[in-house]
Structure 1
Amino acid sequence: MKMKRMLGCSAVFSMVVVSNMAMAYDFNTQTKNATSYTKQANEQVYKELDFGNKTAFTDADRGFIAPLLNNGDIDGVFSATGMNYMQDKKAPDSVNPSLWRHAQLVNRGGLYKVSDHIYQVRGQDLSNLTIIETDKGMVFYDVEYSGKALKASIDLYEKNRGKRALVGVIISHSHADHFGGFEGIYAAGLATPEDVKSGKLPVIAPEGFVEEAVSENVMAGNIMARRAGYQYGNVLKVNEKGIVTGALGPALANDKSSLPIPNKYITKDGETVKIDGVDFVFYLVPHTEAPSEMVMFIPKWNALSMAEDVNHLQHNIYTLRGAQIRDAAAWAKYINQTLGRWGDKVEVQFGPHTWPAWGNKNVVEYLKTQRDAYQSLYDTTLRYANYGYGPDEIAENAKLPKSVFNNWDNRPYYGNTKNNLKSTYIRNLGWYDGNAAKLAAYPDAERGQRYVEAFGGEQKVLDAALKSFNKGDYRFTTELLNNIVASNPKNQKAVLLMADALEQLGYQEETALNRNWYLAGAQELRAGGNVPNNLSTTSPEVIAGLPGDMLMPYLGMTIDQIKAEKVGNHVINLNLAGEKPYSIDLHNGVFNTLGDFSAKNADVSLDIAKPDLLAFLAGKTSLDDLVKGGKAKVSGDTKVLNTLPGLFDLSIKNNMNLVLPLQPENRIR
C-alpha cells in the first residue's frame, strides 16, 4: 500500500504577529516541568502497549547471586545507585512510560548465573562482563568500557565465585564499550601487557577489529566522544528530568577507554578455538551492529551469544554519535543463518547487553522477532523508495507490522525507528532524494539568516515559534528557532525557548538516545555552550599504542595542511622502534606515507620510539634533548625535522558546541 504523498507541513501554519505573547513568556535557564501536551502524549503510551506483561522482569532477575559492590558506585566514573532511582515507581510526567519500564529492567545490576559455567556482571557499565568458567580457569567475553568498572566487576565475581586463572579473552566486536575496559584486567592482577603481547593470554577478536576500532575510536574519536557524551547522557544530571538509562545498560562509565591489540583473529566462518577444554565456534557477521563483529556458539552447553546483533530492544542502523551506517538486510540474514545452524540445539542466548533468554522455544522466537524487525526496516524502506518517496517521508509515514514493532523486544529504546528507516535509505541511496532543491541548500547559519530576513526579522520568528510552542508543536518550534540561533546565538529569548522546546521533546521520547540528545541540547543552549565532557577514546596511551600502519594515517589526519604547505616539500625516512620503516613525503602540505620502505634521497632520517615521536611533534620535548638522551638518532638535515612541531594538533579540544554555533577555536580557519 502506497503512502499518501505529504504536501508541505503536517499542520497548516498561519503567521500571526503576537509580540505581546513573547513579553508574557518566562524566558529563563531553569529546567521545566512537563507541559499538558507532554503529559497527554505520555499517558497515551499506556493505551498502546501491553504493560501487564511482566515476563521480562522475571527474566531480568533470573539467576541473581549478589548485588554490585559498593552499590555499583565508583567515584567520578559511575553511579549505579543514582541510575536505579526509577525502581518500583510509576513513570513521572517527564519520562515516556515505555522508556521508564525499560530503565527499570536494564538499570538493575549485580552478579548473575546465566547457566552452569556462565556468569554475568550486569549494571556496572553500559556493557555486561560475561565470565565463562572452563576446566581450570575462566574466559572473559567482552570487557566493558571502563577499566575501573571492569575491575569492580572482577572483584564482585571473585568475592562470590573465588579466584580463577584468566585463560582467555574474547572481544565480540569493534565498539569501545566492549574492549575499552581491558586495562582493568591488569589492575586486577589477572595478566600483564607482556602476557598479551607474547600470546600467553589468548585475546581473540574478529578479522578487521583493530582497523575498525581505530577508524571509529581514534580517527574520528574526538568528535565521536563529544557526541557520545550527549547520546549517552553523560552530560546530564541523573534524575527524572535528565538521564533515565543508556538503554543497552544503565549508562556509559564516565571514563577514558583503552585499546587492546588482540593476538588471535577469527578469519573464517565456523572457526573453532579450544580454550582450556572448551570449544568456541565463531561466525563472522561484518557490517551488522559493527563493521567487525562475530557471534559464537559453545556446543558443550548449547549456549549462543549473538554479540550485539540481538538485544531486548531495537538497535541502531545509524548511531547518532556518528559511525558507518549498518546493513539492516545483512543483520537479518545473519540472525536467520544462526537459526539454521543452531536453532534446533540452542538452550540459552546471552549477550554483552541486556539480559539472556532461556529455553529453545523462547530463544528461537526471540531470534525470529529480532530478525523480522531488521528485515522489515530494510524491505519497507526500499519498497517506499521505489515508489519515489524520500528518506524523511518514509521515516514519518511508513506503515510497519505491529506484531513486530509493538513487541517489547523490538521497542525503539536504543535505535529509533524513524532514524533507522531514514538511515537505511541513506545507506542504499545516499543522502540525496532526487529533489534538485536539496543541492542548493545553504548551511544552517546562512539559511537561518535568510529565513529570518524573509520572515521580517527575529521578533516575528520568535512570536511564531512561541505560538507553535503554546500549541504543543515543539518540533516546529525548534525548526523555527534554529534559524535565529544558527545566525544570531546572542538572541537569548530564541535560545532559551528552543531549549524549552527540546526539553519537552525529550520528555516524550521513547528512545533513550533521542531523549538524551534533546535534553543535552537544551542544557547546551541554557549554559551558553562548552558543556564539559570526560569521555575519551584517544588518550595519549592509546595513540602511542597504535601500530605504525595506523599511527601514520592518524598523524596525517591531525596535520594542519595550510601550515604544512608553508614549510615546503620534504621526504623523511622514519624508523620507529620495533616497527617496519616508513617513508614520509610531506608534499604540498599533505602527509603521505609508505610503509616498509625507505626513500633513497630522503632529506633526513629519524630513529625514534613512538611515545618520544609524539612528544616531539606535540612540542613537549626538543629533538636536541632526545638525541642527547639517546632516545633519537638523526642523519641528514635536522632543520627539516624541526619544522614539524606545531603542524600537528595532537590534543584537539573536546568541548565543541553541537547545537549552538561552534566556538571560534573550533571553527574552520
Structure 2
Amino acid sequence: MRFLSFSLLFPLFLVLTACGGENASGPAPALAPEALREHSTLFRKGVEEVTDGVYVAIGYGLANSIMLEGDDGIVIVDTMSTQEEGQEVLAAFREITDKPVKALIYTHNHADHVFGARAFAAPGEVPVYAHATTQDKINRVVNEIRPIITLRSMRMFGTYLDGSERINDGIGPHLGVNEDSNLFSLTPDHTFEDELDLNIAGLHLRLIHAPGETDDQLFVWLPEKKVVLSGDNIYQAFPNLYTIRGTAYRDVAQWARSLDKIRALEPEYLVPSHTRPLIGAQRIHTTLTHYRDAIQYVHDQTLRYMNLGLTPDQIVEKVQLPPHLASDPWLQEFYGKVSWSVRSIFSGYLGWFDGNSSTLQPRYDSEQAQRMADLAGGTEALMSAAQKALKNQDAQWALSLTDHLQVLTQGDQAVTDLRARALRQLAEQESNPNARNYYFTEARELEQGLKPGRTKTSPEFLATLPIENFLGAMPSLLKAEETLEVNEALGFRFRDTGKTFTLRIRQGIALIESGLDDDSVATLDTSEITWKSIAAGSRSAALALAGGDLNIDGDKLDALRILGYFEKIE
C-alpha cells in the first residue's frame, strides 16, 4: 500500500503487524539461553491482588494495568497498548468488582500505557490524569522520524518473529499490536507539574513527577496503604537507560534521583507498570537502593573514564556492575544493557565524536570497504575470512566483515545469506530480548524481504490529534534536490475549524506558517479529519477530491506538483 508523502502517523513502535511462523524451508527452531526462558515466568498471565483494593493485571500485553478499588468506584492506572488488550484486562477486573471507572491515570506517554484507554471509558466520560507534558509527547507520535523508528522498533520487539525466536520482550511477554489493533488514547484533562493530591472514590492518591525513563514520568503514592505505583522507572530487568529503537538522551542521573523520591517514602508495596510487584519494606528498600546505585554507578564511572580521555569502545570494556549489583535479580540485562548505557551517556554529554582523531573524518563506506578487501587480499579473501569466522562461532566478526562485503558486492546472495546466518548465530546466543529480537528480525528482512506494517486508525481517534502535527511532519520529507530552484507556496484552509496555513518551499527547505499568504499557487480546502485520514493513509486524496471533501482553489496541477515534492512512505 502506498501512502501520501506526509503520512507520519502513529506510535513508532506500534506501527507494526504480526507475522506467521516459518515455512517448511525456513530455518530450524532457534536456540535460546535458558535464563531468558526462565525470565518468561515473570509474565504469567492473570490479575494479582497486591493488598486490599490494589490489583495488577500482568501478562496481557507488554505493560501492566493497575486497578485501585475505592468506596464507590475504581481508578485505572495505565491502560495497555490497544483497545483489545484493555477490554480483556477490564473483563478480568470485572470478575473482581462491577464498580464504575471513576478516573484514569497515565504514568507516562509510552504507547503501551495509553493506547488502550478507550476500552475503559469514552472520551470525556471520566477525568484523565497525567503530567502536564504527557499529551504533547503523545501528540508527537506523529513526528519526523516515524519511518526509521517504526523499523527499529519492529526489530526490537520482534513483532514478526515466531515462538522459538521471540521468547519474550524483556519487560512483558510481547507487544500485542497487529494490523487489526485499535489504538485510542484519551486526552488528559487533569494535569500538574510537580505534585497533585487527589481523593477519588474515597482513595487518597498523590501523583508525583519523577522523570527517568521519560521526562513526563510520574508515580502514584497511596500513603494510607503504603503502596507506590512506580511506572517505568523500575522493573525487574536492568533499565533501558538507552533503547535501541532510538530515543533522545535519557537523563540517567535524574532517573536515580527520582528513585530516591520513592525510597524516601518507605513503601511496603511496590507495583511497577512492567513485571511483578514487590512486597515488604526491607526488600523494596534494598531493591530500590541497588537499582538506583546501578544507574549512578554506570553514569559516574562513564564520566570518570570520559574525563580520562577514553573513547566509548574503551569505556565499555571497563564499566561493569560490581558483584553485589550484577547478581541482583532486578538488574539482569533482560531489557537494558550496561554497554548500551555507557555509549548513550557518553553521547548525551559529548555528542557523536568519540575523541579519537581517526574517527573525526572517516573514509566513506565504499572506500573503507575496498581498503579492507585489499588488506585481506581481495573481495574473495574477505568473504573467505567472514565464512571462517562464522564457522568458528565468531558471529560478531563475521557480521562486521559483511558490512564491507555488502558495499563491495551489492545484491550478492551469498553475502546476504552469510550475513543472515551471522545474525541468527548472534541471536541464539543472546539473552537480552531487545538484541535477540533485533538480530532475528533483521535476518528475516534479508531472508524474506520483511517490511513494516501499519495499524488501523479510527476517525474518532484521529480527531483527537492536532492538525499541526500532520502538517509539521512534512518538511522533513521534502526531496530537497528537486526543489533547489523552487520558490512556491501552497495554502491549506480547514473549513471545520477555520485554521489556515501556508506550506512554503524555498530552495530546498519547506516551512509551515500560520495563515494564508497571497502568493500561494493554490489553496487546499478541506476538513481536518479528511486531511488527517489522507495523511494517515486510511483515505485517498483522489477519492476525497471526487467526493468534494477536498477542493483545490487555484491551479490544481501546481498544487499536485508541489505535493509531489515530498517523499512517499511505503
Q: Could you say which TM-score interval applies, normalised by the shorter chain?
A: 0.7 to 0.9
Matched, 1:556 2:492: no
Greater mean deviation of Cα atoms: 351-360 or 440-449: 440-449
Q: Could you give the per-residue CA deviations for residues 448-475 of structure 1, whole angstroms, max 9, x where no partner exists?
A: 2432243222221122223323333222
Matched-pair contact (CA < 8 Å) for 1:325–1:423: yes
Q: Give the direction of change, closer, same or farther, for the CA distance of 1:543–1:425 in structure 2 (3 Å limit).
A: farther
Matched-pair contact (CA < 8 Å) for 2:488–2:506: yes
Question: Where does residue 336 of structure 2 map in the other structure?
Answer: 415
Q: Superposed, which structure 2 residues align to 1:503-582 within 5 Å?
A: 503-527=424-448, 530-534=449-453, 536=455, 545-563=464-482, 568-570=487-489, 572=491, 574-575=493-494, 577-578=496-497, 580-582=499-501
Question: Where does residue 45 of structure 2 map in the other structure?
Answer: 109
Query: Match for 1:609 among 500, 521, 527?
Result: 527
Question: Where does residue 196 of structure 2 map in the other structure?
Answer: 271
Matched, 1:299 2:299: no
Q: Could you give the per-residue CA deviations for residues 477-496 of structure 1, whole angstroms, max 9, x where no partner exists?
A: 22122211243243333332
Query: Match for 1:428 among 314, 326, 349?
Result: 349
Bigger relative CO (Cα 8 Å, ≥ 6 apart): 2
Matched-pair contact (CA < 8 Å) for 2:82–2:184: no
Matched-pair contact (CA < 8 Å) for 2:63–2:273: yes
Q: Give the direction of change, closer, same or farther, for the CA distance of 1:647–1:245 in structure 2 (3 Å limit).
A: same
Q: Secondary structure at the match of 1:266?
A: strand
Matched, 1:252 2:170: no
Greater mean deviation of Cα atoms: 537-546 or 324-333: 537-546
Query: Match for 2:307 among 367, 377, 386?
Result: 386
Q: Give the direction of change, closer, same or farther, for the CA distance of 1:495–1:408 in structure 2 (3 Å limit).
A: same
Q: Give the direction of change, closer, same or farther, for the CA distance of 1:422–1:592 in structure 2 (3 Å limit).
A: same
Matched-pair contact (CA < 8 Å) for 2:78–2:113: yes
2: CA distance, partners of 1:477 / 1:330: 39
Quote how far apart the aligned CAs of 1:423 are.
1.2
Structure 1 residue runs without a partner (length 5+): 1-75, 83-91, 654-669
Q: Superposed, which structure 2 residues align to 1:436-447 within 5 Å?
A: 436-447=357-368
Q: Superposed, which structure 2 residues align to 1:118-517 within 5 Å?
A: 118-158=54-94, 160-183=95-118, 185=119, 190-193=120-123, 195=124, 200-216=125-141, 218-239=143-164, 242-255=165-178, 256=181, 258-286=183-211, 288-340=212-264, 342-343=265-266, 346-517=267-438
Matched-pair contact (CA < 8 Å) for 1:562–1:589: yes
Quote how far apart the aligned CAs of 1:621 are.
2.9
Q: Could you give the per-residue CA deviations for residues 565-603 of structure 1, whole angstroms, max 9, x where no partner exists?
A: 6764126363452364434434335332234x4547766
2: CA distance, partners of 1:538 / 1:612: 13
Question: Where does residue 652 of structure 1 map in the other structure?
Answer: 569
1: CA distance, partners of 2:461 / 2:360: 40
Q: Give the direction of change, closer, same or farther, for the CA distance of 1:78–1:297 in structure 2 (3 Å limit).
A: farther
Task: Give, as a single letter, the amino acid of the residue that structure 1 aligns with 2:103.
Answer: G
2: CA distance, partners of 1:448 / 1:400: 36
Q: Give the direction of change, closer, same or farther, for the CA distance of 1:121–1:217 in structure 2 (3 Å limit).
A: farther
Matched-pair contact (CA < 8 Å) for 2:497–2:528: no
2: CA distance, partners of 1:118 / 1:329: 31
Q: Secondary structure at the match of 1:131?
A: strand
Q: Secondary structure at the match of 1:569?
A: strand
Task: Give, as a single letter, the amino acid of the residue that structure 2 aligns with 1:115.
Answer: T
2: CA distance, partners of 1:99 / 1:540: 40
Quote how far apart the aligned CAs of 1:607 are.
4.6
Q: Give the direction of change, closer, same or farther, for the CA distance of 1:584–1:498 in structure 2 (3 Å limit).
A: closer
Matched-pair contact (CA < 8 Å) for 1:574–1:584: no
Q: Secondary structure at the match of 2:330?
A: helix
2: CA distance, partners of 1:622 / 1:508: 51
Q: Give the direction of change, closer, same or farther, for the CA distance of 1:146–1:453 in structure 2 (3 Å limit).
A: farther
Q: Could you give the per-residue CA deviations for residues 294-346 of structure 1, whole angstroms, max 9, x where no partner exists?
A: 12212232211121001111121211111112121111111112222x12xx2
Q: Secondary structure at the match of 2:258?
A: helix
Quote how far apart the aligned CAs of 1:230 are.
1.2
Q: Superposed, which structure 2 residues align to 1:58-77 within 5 Å?
A: none
Question: Where does residue 99 of structure 1 map in the other structure?
Answer: 36
Q: Superposed, which structure 2 residues align to 1:45-84 within 5 Å?
A: none
Q: Secondary structure at the match of 1:111?
A: strand
Q: Give the direction of change, closer, same or farther, for the CA distance of 1:338–1:290 in structure 2 (3 Å limit).
A: same
Q: Could you give the per-residue CA deviations for residues 225-261 of structure 1, whole angstroms, max 9, x where no partner exists?
A: 221221111121112xx11110110011132563525
Matched-pair contact (CA < 8 Å) for 1:235–1:533: no
Q: Could you give the per-residue CA deviations for residues 341-368 of structure 1, whole angstroms, max 9, x where no partner exists?
A: x12xx22111210001112112211211
Q: Give the direction of change, closer, same or farther, for the CA distance of 1:217–1:322 in structure 2 (3 Å limit).
A: farther
Matched-pair contact (CA < 8 Å) for 1:231–1:513: yes
Matched, 1:621 2:545: no
- Identity between Structure 1 and Structure 2 (%): 24
Matched-pair contact (CA < 8 Å) for 1:561–1:590: yes
**Count, aligned residues:** 542
Task: Give, as a single letter, the amino acid of the residue that structure 2 aligns with 1:233.
Answer: G
1: CA distance, partners of 2:543 / 2:35: 58
Q: Give the direction of change, closer, same or farther, for the CA distance of 1:517–1:541 in structure 2 (3 Å limit).
A: farther
Matched-pair contact (CA < 8 Å) for 1:176–1:217: no
2: CA distance, partners of 1:537 / 1:458: 46
2: CA distance, partners of 1:589 / 1:558: 11
Greater mean deviation of Cα atoms: 636-645 or 300-309: 636-645
Task: Give, as a single letter, the amino acid of the residue that structure 2 aligns with 1:551.
Answer: F
Structure 2 residue runs without a partner (length 5+): 1-16, 22-28
Task: Give, as a single letter, the amino acid of the residue that structure 2 aligns with 1:114.
Answer: V
1: CA distance, partners of 2:272 / 2:225: 15
1: CA distance, partners of 2:387 / 2:544: 60
1: CA distance, partners of 2:406 / 2:190: 49
Quote how far apart the aligned CAs of 1:533 are.
3.7
Quote how far apart the aligned CAs of 1:615 are.
5.7
Quote how far apart the aligned CAs of 1:379 are.
0.5
Quote how far apart the aligned CAs of 1:638 are.
6.2
Quote how far apart the aligned CAs of 1:397 are.
2.8
Q: Could you give the per-residue CA deviations for residues 191-232 of structure 1, whole angstroms, max 9, x where no partner exists?
A: 333x2xxxx421222222233234356433332222122111
Task: Give, as a single letter, the amino acid of the residue that structure 2 aligns with 1:161.
Answer: I
Matched-pair contact (CA < 8 Å) for 2:131–2:217: yes
1: CA distance, partners of 2:550 / 2:152: 38
Q: Give the direction of change, closer, same or farther, for the CA distance of 1:620–1:580 in structure 2 (3 Å limit).
A: closer
Q: Secondary structure at the match of 2:415?
A: helix
Task: Give, as a single letter, the amino acid of the residue that structure 2 aligns with 1:302.
Answer: K
TM-score by length of 2: 0.86
How big is the alpha-carbon RMSD for the aligned residues of Structure 1 and Structure 2? Answer: 3.0
Q: Give the direction of change, closer, same or farther, for the CA distance of 1:401–1:142 in structure 2 (3 Å limit).
A: same
1: CA distance, partners of 2:464 / 2:478: 19
Q: Secondary structure at the match of 1:143?
A: coil
Task: Give, as a single letter, the amino acid of the residue that structure 2 aligns with 1:130.
Answer: I
